[in-house]
Copies of this chain bind each other. A is one copy, B any other.
């Protein structure tokens, strides 16, 4: 037995999160390193959804909007996500896609910043949709769009900046950006900090309240395991809620939606971030999936995540011939999210072969092999095996 196999066993044996894996449907023997794209299915979700569909929809029908708590699901589920991202209650609301929430957050931030600021600053390395939506938000609000590498944001913000939109973890490289430092720099310049948490929520502590973030968005189908295309969320810090002015003021965000008045009057609190009728099936699957977080500390998740990526990079160095792959994920813990990204000349063919051999990662064109480490269900033996099979393929 190689030293690394023995090390993996030892690490698994002392992993306090190891037993969480049993909560997930992962019976096919695959090493699933794509939970940062689509989280695995928590085992109990099918039974809950059978009840939602057959009883809540099928039997109670319209009564479920009240009796099954459908109407209040966006705020209730927001409050379940809140502790995972370090937010107190009443500031997170679930609904719509991440893209739509980026639009709400950015236009909202621009309006909060006031008319004398005419620039939106956006992360130059952002997941594309944020950039596209930022461009639309800029066009519709008459602002200028400026881009900067997240590390250069503190230098790039200034008196013209209304808001800066930054990804907490780079979707491609796995680089973790300095949320506290960038937030402080943006605010010192009088602008608002808007964070995209898609690749950090559920993988590491975010500390939205502690670091005074202004607005944030994130998806729920990666580390939160909410299901394919599960609704995203919007965080609006309590101090901004009374002035938050959504560009999508649908009837669900009205102060008295069933009065059905002609004039719009915004609800208080996180509800102001709602738009139209929530997609209940996807939303309640997410709510059920969040049960796997009960009793989990995000600090323990972070510790295991770093141990997993450290160990994976160690196994890659040990097993894979020099020069075949190059890690684009930072070595420093404070700069690393919960994935390892390896550049590789023949990445498309290598990923195809990895998947056929049961190591499920994904490809980021043209040349990045991306492996996500989800501490609730990935173990160290999985990690060693993934690196070993990678070495066999590229060796």
Where the two chains meet, the residues of A that have a C-beta atom closer than 8 Å to any C-beta of B are 25, 28, 32, 34, 37-38, 40-41, 45-46, 49-50, 53-54, 56-59, 61-65, 70, 96-100, 103, 107, 124, 127-129, 131-133, 135-136, 140-141, 172, 219, 221, 227-232, 246-252, 254, 257-262, 264, 275-283, 285, 355, 360, 362, 364-365
Contacts and interface: CB of A to CB of B under 8 A. Distances in A.
10 contacts: A64-B228, A97-B250, A100-B248, A100-B276, A128-B261, A136-B248, A140-B247, A228-B281, A229-B277, A259-B365
A246 B129 CA distance: 13
Given A133-B249, A250-B133, A275 B53 contact: no
Top-8 shortest CB links A-B: A97-B276, A99-B250, A99-B276, A228-B280, A41-B58, A129-B251, A279-B282, A25-B58
Contacts of A251: 99, 127-129, 132
A274 to B, nearest CB: 9
Contacts of A249: 132-133, 135-136
Q: Name, among A40, A41, A248, the residue most crowded by chain B CB atoms within 10 Å (CB to CB).
A: A248
A262 B135 CA distance: 11
Q: Name, among A56, A99, A231, the residue most crowded by chain B CB atoms within 10 Å (CB to CB).
A: A99
Contact of A258 (B65, B279, B365): B365
Given A98-B277, A132-B254, A250-B129, A45 B53 contact: yes
Given A97-B277, A221-B277, A281-B281, A254 B58 contact: no
Q: Name, among A32, A62, A355, the residue most crowded by chain B CB atoms within 10 Å (CB to CB).
A: A62
A177 to B, nearest CB: 18
Contact of A260 (B50, B259, B364): B364
Nearest to A280: B228
A282 B260 CA distance: 26
A189 B277 CA distance: 34
A279 to B, nearest CB: 4
A194 to B, nearest CB: 16
Nearest to A172: B260
A34 B64 CA distance: 13
A99 B54 contact: no
